[in-house]
Structure 1
Amino acid sequence: MSCAATELSIPKNSGLQVVVGLGQSGLSVAQYLIEHGYRVAVTDNQSAPALADNLPAAVEIRQFGAIDGDLLQQAARIIISPGISLDTPAVAAARQASIPVVSDIQLFCEACTVPIVAITGSNAKSTVTTLLGQMAADAGINVGIGGNIGIPALNLLANPDMELAVLELSSFQLETVTDLGAQVATVLNMSPDHLDRHGDMLGYHQAKHRIFQGAKSVVINREDPMTRPLVADNLPRLSISIHAPDKDQYGLITDADGQIYLARGHKRLLSADKLLIKGRHNLLNAQAALALGELAGLPLDSMLTTLQHFNGLDHRCQYVTTVANIDYFNDSKGTNIGSTMAAIEGLGAVYAPKDGKLLLILGGQGKGQQFGELTPFINQYVCQVLCIGEDSLQIEQHLRAVKLSDEVTLHQCETLKGAFATIQQVTASSLSQVQAVLLSPACASFDQFSGYEARGDYFGQLVAQLVVQSKTVPVS
C-alpha cells in the first residue's frame, strides 16, 4: 500500500501499535505484537520494503513510501526502529502530542524474565558480546545473544529455556529505553560517533548511559571516565584497564621480561600470548568479558578456557594473511575514529618493538568527525596513510591541521583498489618500514560499498590477488 492510498479511520485509544521502520527489528516487533493480540500498523520510508512480504497477514495497515504522520497521530504507542531518527518530523510531532515512542528493546526488557547483560560502547561491543555469549554457552548456560548484533532481541523470547540474555545495544536503541534493569550493564568506551544523529557528545553520552537505568551491577573502564555511571557508589562494580589492576579489579601485569598477563588484583589469570586475538585493545575486551561474566555468575576457569579459543570476529581487526613479510589486517568495522585509534594503538604496539610501522587505509563517509584526533596515534605508529572515499580530502586536511609528522607520507587513492596499487609501490622499496597493512577506515562505507562487510570482503579479495601475484613473480 502506498502512504496516500487510503484514508484511515482508527478510533482514538484503540490500542493501535504503530511500527516505524521495517528492517529486521521492525519485523520482529510486528510479529511479536501480533502474537500478543495487538492491532498493528507498519509505516516505512521505502515504497516497497524488502521485508514487507514477511509481515503477518494480520498487519492490515501498511503505509509505505513515507513515514505516515497521520497514522502516528492515531497510535497508542509507537515502536521506532533504530535507523529512524527521533527528529523525523512525523515522529517528533507524535512525541509532541505525548504519544509514547519506544524501541524493541523496551518491549524486550518488559517481557524478559531472565537476567540481562547489557553491553554498549563506541567500539568493541560486538566482540565483547560475542565472547561473553560464548563463555556462557561453554559454561552450560542456555544463553540468548542478540540486540544490535545478529538476532533481534524480541526473537530471543521464542526460546522458553533461555537462562541469560546477552544484548549488544546501540545508542539508537538506547535513546528510547527507560529502566532497562540489567543484571550487569557496561559502557565499554566513549569516542565521537553518530554526532550527525545525536548532535554532540553530550547527546551521544546521554543516550549511551541510559543502559545503566535500573542496573544491578556495572563494569567500567578505568581508562575512560565517560564510561562511569552517575549511580550510587555502593552499586556492585568491577573495572578494567590496560594498566596494573586496582585492588580486586581487572588489569594487566607486565613481568620484568615483558610478558603480559591478564590479572584480577595481584592474581595472574592468563598470559597474553595464549590469546588468539591480538593487540592491547583486545586485552581490554578480554577483561570486559571476564568482568561481565563474573558479575553474571559465570565460572572463571570456564571463561578462561573459552578465551583461549576465541579468534575474534570478521572485519574487526581480523588477521587476513601475510604477503611478502607484511601482515594484512581487516578492521572494516572500524567506522569511527575511536575504533581506529584502538586498532592503531593495539597493533602498533605489537610492531613497534621490531622497529616496524603500519600502513593505514582511512576513508569513506566521515559522519562529522574530527579526524585530527587520530594524528598523535598516526605519528607514533604509522608511516604511510592512504585516503579513500567521499571524505578523503577532508580527512587529509584534518590530519595536516594537527601537525601530521613529516615522517608520515599521505596518499590520495580514491578507491580501495587504488590503495592497493599504492601499497605495492611503497612496500617495494627496501627502505620501507611497513610491517603491517591495516584497513581501519574510521568512516562509514556507504559511499562506495553496501556496508562495512562488503568493504572488508573486497579488502580480502585484493589481498588474495596479492598472494597470487607473489607466487607468480619469477625469481631472478
Structure 2
Amino acid sequence: MRLVILGGGESGVGTAILGKKKGYEVFVSDFGKIKGNYKEILLINGISWEEEKHTEELILNAAVVMKSPGIPDKSPIVKKLKERGIPVISEIEFAAPFTKATIIGITGSNGKTTTTMLTHHLLKSAGLNVGLGGNIGKSFAWQIADNKYDSYVLELSSFQLDGIIDFKPHIAIITNISPDHLDRYEYKYENYIDSKFRITMNQTEDDYLIYDADDEAICNWFKTHTTKAKLIPFSLTKIFSEGAYIKNNKMEIKISQEEFTMDTEHIALEGKHNMKNAMAATSVAKLMQIRKATIRESLSNFQGVEHRLEKVLKIQNVQYINDSKATNVNATFFALDSMNTPTVWIVGGVDKGNDYNELMSLVREKVKAIICLGVDNKKIIDVFGNVVDMMIEVDNMNDAVRMAQRLTEKGDSVLLSPACASFDLFENYEDRGNQFKQAVKNL
C-alpha cells in the first residue's frame, strides 16, 4: 500500500512514521522547504521525501494520501488526486484506527486551545495516562506510533475535520462557531458550520457531544440536523436538568444523575468566555469519572495558554497583554470584552473576510487609540477611523509597542489582539506574540 503525504511538517512526519511502522510504502512531498530536524527524522526512518515541488508520477500512484491541514482543497495536486478518486484524508483519519484509546475531540472557532489544554490538565492531574495532540503539541499519529496512551485530547480544526471519513471521538466538544477561514469555504458561512459539525457525524448513542447552547450558529444547526450522540449543553444564561450552567456565581454541572458545583471566583481563568471553556472541560472530566476534589484543584491552578490574553508586564502602571492567538473577530471580541481599563489596541494582519462592525460598541466604550499592524490596513481604518481619537499605522512590532507606550497613561492597558492571521509580517501567531513580548521587555 502506497501512502503519500503532502506536507513535511509535524503532522506529515508523524503520519509518515506511523505509516512506515504499519507497513506502508511511504513518500513525503512538500511544496515548500522541509525543516532540517524533520529531514533527519525521515532519513533515519528510511522514508523518501522531496521538497519545493510535487512530482506527479510519485504522488498520483498513491493508494491513500494524507494532506496537511494547511494545504487547501483547491491546490492543483489535490484536485488531480480527487479527479482520480484517490482518497485524500487528514492525519486524525489516518491515525485513529491504529489506537483503541478513548478520544476526546475539541473544535470551535475560538476557545478550543484553552479548552483542550484545560481538559488535558484535568485528566492528567487525576492520574490518567493521556496524550495531547491535533493542532497543538506532538503529532497524534506520531504519538500513536511511539506511545501507549489510554486516552487523547485532540484540538481539531475545521480543515482536519474536512479530511475525515470514519473518525469519531467518544466525547466531542464544539466550543462556539463564528465566521473564520471563509476564504477556504467559498465565503459561505454555512459550509464552515457544517465542517465543524463533522466532529459528530460518526458518533453513536454511546458517545457525547458537549456544545455551547448560547451560540446562535450551533442552535440553528440543531433546528435542521440531528446527531445520535448524547447532548450535553453548557450556557451562561440557561439552566439545564442535564448539562452545565452558571447560577449565583457558581458553576453547576449535572451529568447522569451526578452533580458538581464550584464557585466561579475560585476558577483560575478569567472572563465570561473562559467560564464556558471551564464548563466544557469539566463536563469531560465528569464523563471520565474524575473525582470532584481533583477537578476543583485543577480548575483553580490552571495556568492558561500562551498568546491568549497573556499578561506580559506592567510598566509604569500600564498592563501589556498578548492575545496574538486572536486571529479572528470573535476572539478579539472576547478580548475587548474582558478589558476594564482604557485600552490601546494593536490590530491587523491578513484579513480572512472580517466584519469589524461586530466590535463597534466595544471599541467605542473601551479603546482610546488603535495601532494598525499590517501590510494593508484600509478596512480597519475605514471602519474605526472616526470612532477613536488616534489611529496610527506601523509595519513592525517594535514601532507598534513604542507607539503604544507613548499613547498610554497610568492605569491604561495595551492589548495586542489582531483579529487577523499573521502571515503578512510574521511567520505565525506565535512569532507575532513572541515579538510583542520581546518588544515590551525592551521598553
TM-score by length of 2: 0.90
- Larger deviation: 320-329 or 86-95? 320-329
Could you tell me which amino acid in structure 2 is paired with residue 398 of structure 1? V
Aligned equivalent of 1:5: none
1:68-79 aligned at under 5 Å gives the runs: 68-79=55-66
Give the alignment of 1:388-403 within 5 angstroms.
Answer: 388-400=373-385
Write the mapping of 1:19-98 to structure 2, written as runs, cut at 5 A. Answer: 19-46=5-32, 50=36, 51-56=38-43, 59=46, 61-98=48-85
Per-residue CA deviation, residues 230-251 of structure 1 (Å, 9 max, x unaligned), is: 5647732211223253334322
> CA contact under 8 A between 2:183 and 2:353: conserved in structure 1?
yes
Cα displacement string for residues 170-222 of structure 1 (whole angstroms, at most 9, x for unaligned residues) = 11111111232211101111112212222222222222211112221101101
Select between 108-117 and 309-318 the one with higher mean Cα deviation: 108-117
Q: Report the more deviating stretch, 320-329 or 334-343.
A: 320-329
- Could you tell me which of 393, 397, 414 is aligned with 1:412? 393
Counterpart in the other structure of 1:205:
193
After superposition, residues 67-466 of structure 1 pair within 5 angstroms as 67-158=54-145, 161-200=148-187, 201-215=189-203, 216-227=207-218, 230=222, 232=226, 235-254=229-248, 260-264=249-253, 269-345=261-337, 347-348=338-339, 351=340, 356-400=341-385, 405=387, 409-428=390-409, 435-466=412-443
SS in 2 for 1:149: coil
Aligned to 1:474: none
* Counterpart-to-counterpart distance in 2, 1:302 and 1:273: 17
Distance 1:167-1:451 versus aligned 2 partners, 3 A rule: same
Amino acid at match of 1:452: Y
Matched residues in 1 for 2:423 and 2:362: separation?
26
Partners in 2 of 1:101 and 1:60 — Cα distance?
Answer: 20
Amino acid at match of 1:135: L
For residues 178 and 81 of structure 2, the distance between their equivalents in structure 1, rounded to whole angstroms, comes to 31
Q: Could you tell me how far apart the structure 2 residues matched to 1:287 and 1:149 are?
A: 21
Amino acid at match of 2:233: S
Query: Structure 1 46/424 Cα, relative in aligned 2: closer, same or farther at 3 Å?
Result: closer
Question: Quick check: 1:359–1:382 contact (8 Å CA) kept in 2?
Answer: yes
CA contact (8 A) 2:234 2:280 kept: yes
Residue pair 1:119, 1:129 contacting (<8 A) in 2 also:
yes
Distance in 2 (alpha carbons) for counterparts of 1:295 and 1:180: 20
CA–CA distance in structure 1, aligned partners of residues 70 and 433 of structure 2: 22
Aligned equivalent of 1:469: none
Alpha-carbon distance change, 188 to 298 in structure 1, aligned in 2, over 3 angstroms: same
Structure 2 Cα separation of the partners of residues 423 and 160 of structure 1 = 47
Distance 1:47 1:286, change over 3 A: closer
Residue in structure 2 matched with residue 470 of structure 1 by the alignment: none
Query: Aligned AA for 1:263?
Result: E
- Say if 1:131 and 1:310, in contact at 8 Å, map to a contact too: yes
In structure 1, stretches of 5+ residues that fail to align are 1-14, 255-259, 467-476
CA distance in 2, matches of 1:58, 1:383: 56
TM-score (norm 1): 0.84
* Structure whose CA Rg is larger: 1
Shift, 1:59, TM fit: 4.9
Say if 2:158 and 2:192, in contact at 8 Å, map to a contact too: yes
Distance 1:103 1:49 in 2: 21
SS in 2 for 1:144: strand
8 Å Cα contact 1:124/1:188 also seen in 2? yes
Contact 2:116 2:153 in 1 (8 A): yes
Alpha carbons 1:186, 1:212 under 8 Å: kept: no
Q: For residue 422 of structure 1, what is the amino acid of its counterpart?
A: M
Number of aligned residues: 432
The one-character-per-residue Cα deviations of 1:253-307 (angstroms, maximum 9, x if unpaired) are 24xxxxx332336978223332332222211111111122223333333112101
Segments of 5+ residues of structure 2 without an aligned counterpart are none
Partners in 2 of 1:394 and 1:448 — Cα distance? 17
Q: Is the 8 A contact 1:367 1:444 kept in 2?
A: yes
Q: Aligned letter for 1:460?
A: K
Distance (whole Å) between structure 1 residues aligned to residue 437 and residue 355 of structure 2: 28
